[in-house]
Amino acid sequence: MGIWFTENQTRDLSLSFRLGKTLRRERTPYQDLAVVETLQYGRMLVLDGAVQTTEKDEFVYHEMITHVPLFAHPAPKRVLVVGGGDGGAIREILKHPTVEEAVLAEIDERVIAAAREFLPGISQGLSDPRAKIMVGDGIEHVRQARGVYDVIIVDSTDPIGPAVGLFAREFYQSVFEALKEDGLFVAQTESPFLNADLIKGVYGNIASVFPLTRLYLAVVPTYPSGLWSFTVGSKKYAPTEPVRQPPEGFTSRYYTPAIHRSAFVLPRFVEELIAAGPAKDGEASV
């Protein structure tokens, strides 16, 4: 049967992967880090026993967390990624020619180092001259920023350990203040099947800060349940509609303008999760 890695996704649910070999295993100042070779999904980054990304399906998550907010903005120039030390979000952001600077605020430099060494297809954007890497507390960086970013992307781990503060209303207020007057942000907000209470709380917190709040979905096979949510807070632009077409030479494997629109069409049970459902464009969420 070989060697298997098992992620205990809840107390009652696990997902297992058969391994070829372990490429790196270390305890960083913040978390347990491993990079393993799986037979089904290729190389995989694991933090504190939870799958973060794999070579085979990472494109879904990274394209959807970046291109939805970026194509909803008419001309994003300065973009911040909080977390996301694997570099996948930076890679996708830099496909937009309007972007002049993509800042990565990652608290654990060992994640960046591991991605550079073992996941070059994901981390390649970190070497782009428009990418700026800041090793440190993303929450504090956002708190100190005022009106400087067009788009902020919160590419966090699960709400445990150093990522807990990234799911708090206080942080979303700081994000609001760090954005320009027409800015917007997106955060990964876990599985509607397995994290219903978290989604309710996060959606409500974001809606209490931003005049436009929307939730959208994508399918990421290696994440708990496979169905994954993202929540957008916008000061001005309706995130449900791309306002620009993909530029010449733009490549993607999951994102399209049609997928962008359809991702906001929610199943009934997800609408019920966020109480009254998505607010109408131009209206504040409640």
What are the pLDDT digits (tens) for 134-169? 999 999 999 999 999 999 999 986 666 656 677 788
Does residue 200 share a domain with residue 62? yes
Catalytic residue numbers read 155
pLDDT band, very low/low/confident/very high, at 2 (cuts 50, 70, 90): confident
pLDDT of 118 > 70? The answer is yes
pLDDT digits (tens, 9 = 90+) for 57-95: 999 999 999 999 999 999 999 999 999 999 999 999 999
Nearest to 20 by CA among 3, 41, 44: 3
Reference 56, options 39, 33, 80, 32; nearest CA is 39
User: Which domain, by its residues, includes 66?
Assistant: 58-273
Q: What is the mean pLDDT of the chain?
A: 93
Counting residues of the chain whose pLDDT is more than 90, the rounded percentage is 89
Find the distance separating the first CA and the last CA of the chain, reported in whole Å: 52
In a domain, 88, yes or no: yes
Q: Is residue 284 part of a domain?
A: no
* Mean pLDDT of the region 171-194: 96
Same domain, 38 and 155: no
Report whether 207 contacts 285 (CB < 8 A): yes
* 200, pLDDT greater than 70: yes
Q: State whether 203 and 73 are in the same domain.
A: yes
